[in-house]
Structure 1
Amino acid sequence: MRYSKQHKQETHARIVRKASVRLREKGAHGIGVADLMKEAGLTHGGFYAHFDSREALVIEAFTYAMDRSTARWREVSEATPPDKRLATIVESYLTPLHRDDPGHGCAVPTLGAEIARESPKTRKAFAAKLEQMIDMVADQIPGVARKAARKQAMAALATMMGTLVLSRIAGNGGFSDDILSAGREAVLGRAVAAKPVARKAASKRTAAPARH
């Protein structure tokens, strides 16, 4: 039976979506092609009608996941005042909900370590999407030169993603929640910023009598 081009495209997209979730849940090597096809409601034999190799599917699956993350961040930022956009992205990322649902979350914490061991082709594709994420976050840092904003975005993403990994290792209790909180503070500079303000306020209170 011959299927239309549109049907084939829709089937291809469904495989990629299903694979994207399962790969984030199980890891790049935690699930085989047969299981991925079964998840999409298809037989193993139909795999090569859609993909040249397992690597091709993995690349499309994490590309889809990373594009979704970037799109969500963009939607959040467009609905937020410029000076609050980075904070909104960070606070929506470092949450218990995201921690507890890796299959529908960011692909970097779930697949990054494995992708680093994959072929140059796979790493190159992953790195290209990571650069897009960095550029998107840098766009949300107003009043800063582009080079500095990009550097800040790299540091923010590294902290966010590392925090999410550690919080998942710690489980879903209070310790894990503390890790998420510490990560948010580290990215947004709240802990560091609070101390100088407190010292400055104390200095003013001490100096006030002298002015009178």
Structure 2
Amino acid sequence: MMSTVGSYWAAIYEEFGSMIKRIGIERQFGKDELVFREKDSYEGFFEIISGNFKVYILNADGKEAIFKIASAGELIATPPIFQTEEPCLYPAFCQALTDGELVFYPKKQFLDFLLGNPKALYLFSVLTVDHVNYFRKKMVENLFLTVKEKILGFLKGLGAETNFVHLPIAKQQLASLLGTTPESVSRAFRFLLDEGIVEENNDRYRIL
């Protein structure tokens, strides 16, 4: 299912695709390769063509907290494009979980395109607000939802209400994404399976 952000981007691309293609720069990334680091100078945003990428931060002890696992059709690091104050920095790390391809859109060139096309500017602004709201919602969920509820929400996002789905990340990384421990994730999965809420088949999961 296409995300709200994805649908806005598709609408922009449908009307302005030829102009956008002239701005984008294709880049290949190998598994575990960093796309950008937290506090790197912000150069622009990325569109995922293939592969899976994680957006995360590290605390003072080097412990990882994953904000999002992003896949084909999604955008990474759009909000800072509208920041006018300098220095403008990437707010987190981004790393490839698999081999993948991104298209990089430089900030200056893309802003010039937006300012010359009011409809694209409006749609991209709404897209960026939705992007920010996703992270705000995730922070609230991590505070108030149980681990079982977080796992069900994650599976629903993968389409597990209609099909068996593979987890795109290891359960240890899923624990980081959900703001909990690997042990809590394992216990919650066992509960969901034992209670018949989730079904497993060859390491794939479906919500019953």
State the TM-score, normalized to the length of structure 2.
0.24
Larger Rg: 1 or 2?
1
Higher relative contact order (CA 8 A, sep 6+): 2
The structure carrying a bigger helix percent of its residues is 1
TM-score normalised to structure 1 length: 0.24
More strand by share: 2
